Chains A and B, each alone.
Chain A
């Protein structure tokens, strides 16, 4: 690249302006890096291999509607089903109704469906032996400074006990740790015994919030899902069964179309960037008219001069963009750590870099095109005479 010093010199001919423009490019791509991480984390949610071989069965009507516990045995008999577990929403709060704690009452084999959740052998044993035992996600435990052996009360917002009390007492017997980021939210969860829950409240009476089924063959997942739904067809409790992946994706879609939101924000940001850098480049080339004319005089072809201007514009974008993305990859872990596990953003991956670089080059070319065209068409004699 024997022309690099020429391009570099041209870019920093007006230092202040170039640095200001560079800052806006950096800011735009910093934002791009962060938002793309958010988008990626949403895309990745539930995308584990385990998620593809797990089916979730809930009421077709609404997720508040419960299902009969008798379905458990029926689902277990469906060909292709490896095992089935069930759970219900407990809806606990700790000390203060605002301290919502995600808590499920689960069947004894529930954890078998989640190999990506790590629970020590002692904790498993203690959980199996303690009727009031709970397993607590490690992030949650950290938040409330809970230790194994602690006795804690949780208020259920949905299910009072037989004596009318909303407060339930539990013994912390172990912690849960998600080995796999896609299961990260188990680090925030409380699991309790189905028996303690179902027998403790007069309101559940053997109904189940949802079933979790493992299939033996991941390629048969759709067929098994249809077979499970067929069990309750035309009953008063029709079901809807999906892979965990699809269920998560649907759930996320209902929450917000993150792709659309990120796309719209970045669209607006890049449009602004286009105008801004476009203006900078146009001004830069206008100021350099006589210098460009000298290059042509010396024997640089029109196309070479055009290429120099385009390269300058692409350099501006790639330089700022790379700094911005690099900043994003430094900031993302800090933001994730600062959120105390609420946000689990992936670092700027190869995909984001590739997309980012493509955007930088594309914007650079787009922005450089008008001034490059002008430079190419520049008439030497007129430019030298200052016309």
Chain B
């Protein structure tokens, strides 16, 4: 398999008032197409920062990031938004669903940005909900669903426009063990059966076991380790 994400000499500097803080130092990383990568590391080590760069939510202060041959570090806000819409799905720790919309409508959200008509949007969202096993909860609002179910809706939303890359920031961080395992199994299936490339930040070594390999960040530097056997 080829390389999907190419990170070259990437650094990220945040300015806090007059003080500049470099939170990522000259990161080099290749993520292969079809990989399921776990990112671990202590709090404040820069995991979210790196993930946001990979997902095109933020731009690096130095270095280059290529995804599927496109230099996303050079894109402006508008182009980056379009690029995200068709290439990346996001899953967050706190699900971040729209509280007023049903599960179905939440999943349809990304499709509003496509040319699909209402019927097609409905159909595709239904397929995504079925894939995460929530077809019978389509009409429920987020507050009528458990945490695990909400996270599955969020995953359906992330995959509904069929992106190649899934970016997950502590997707099980707020879930009990059993729900977490369901979510991780689901991600594993999306990786194995549907070929999604997944980058997942986690604090939990058990969660990392579902990934095909794990990388450690420490104080903004990558500490590569052998894939856990």
Q: Measuring CB to CB, which residues of chain A are less than 8 angstroms from any residue of chain B?
A: 2-3, 5-6, 9-10, 12-13, 290-291, 293-303, 380-381, 384-385
A-B contact count (CB 8 A): 64
A2, B100: Cα distance in complex, Å? 16
Q: Which of A10, A381, A385 contacts B100 (CB 8 A)?
A: A10
Q: Which of B96, B99, B113 contacts A300 (CB 8 A)?
A: B113
**Chain B CB within 10 A, most for which of A290, A303, A380:** A380
Contact between chains at B100 and A298 (CB < 8 Å): no
A residues less than 8 Å from B77 (CB atoms) = 301-302
Q: Measuring CB to CB, which residues of chain B are less than 8 angstroms from any residue of chain A?
A: 48, 52, 55, 57-58, 77-78, 81-82, 84-86, 90, 92, 96, 98-101, 105, 109-110, 112-113, 118, 157
Known: A12-B100, A291-B98. A297 touches B57 (CB 8 A): yes
CB distance from A43 to the nearest CB of B (A): 45
A291, B86: Cα distance in complex, Å? 20
CB distance from A77 to the nearest CB of B (A): 79
Q: Apart from A298-B110, A384-B96, what 5 extra A-B contacts exist at CB < 8 Å? A: A13-B99, A291-B98, A291-B99, A299-B81, A303-B78
A residues less than 8 Å from B52 (CB atoms) = 380-381
A303, B76: Cα distance in complex, Å? 14
Known: A298-B85, A298-B90, A380-B57. A290 touches B78 (CB 8 A): no
A303, B96: Cα distance in complex, Å? 21
Known: A298-B84, A299-B82, A302-B77. A2 touches B90 (CB 8 A): no
A301, B86: Cα distance in complex, Å? 13
Contact between chains at A290 and B96 (CB < 8 Å): yes
A302, B48: Cα distance in complex, Å? 22
Known: A298-B84, A300-B81. A2 touches B98 (CB 8 A): no
Q: Which of B96, B100, B110, B118 contacts A9 (CB 8 A)?
A: B100
In the assembled complex, 24 residue pairs joining A and B whose CB atoms fall closer than 8 Å, in A order, are A2-B118, A5-B101, A9-B105, A10-B100, A12-B100, A13-B100, A291-B99, A294-B96, A295-B109, A296-B81, A297-B55, A297-B84, A297-B90, A298-B85, A298-B90, A298-B109, A298-B157, A299-B84, A300-B113, A301-B82, A302-B78, A302-B81, A380-B58, A384-B57
**Chain A CB within 10 A, most for which of B92, B96, B118:** B96
A213, B110: Cα distance in complex, Å? 74
Q: Which residue of A lies closest to B48 (CB)?
A: A385
A residues less than 8 Å from B113 (CB atoms) = 298-300
B residues less than 8 Å from A5 (CB atoms) = 101, 105
A293, B110: Cα distance in complex, Å? 13
Contact between chains at B78 and A9 (CB < 8 Å): no
Q: Which of B48, B82, B96 contacts A291 (CB 8 A)?
A: B96
Q: Which of A10, A300, A381 contacts B57 (CB 8 A)?
A: A381
Contact between chains at A299 and B96 (CB < 8 Å): no
Q: Which residue of A lies closest to B101 (CB)?
A: A9
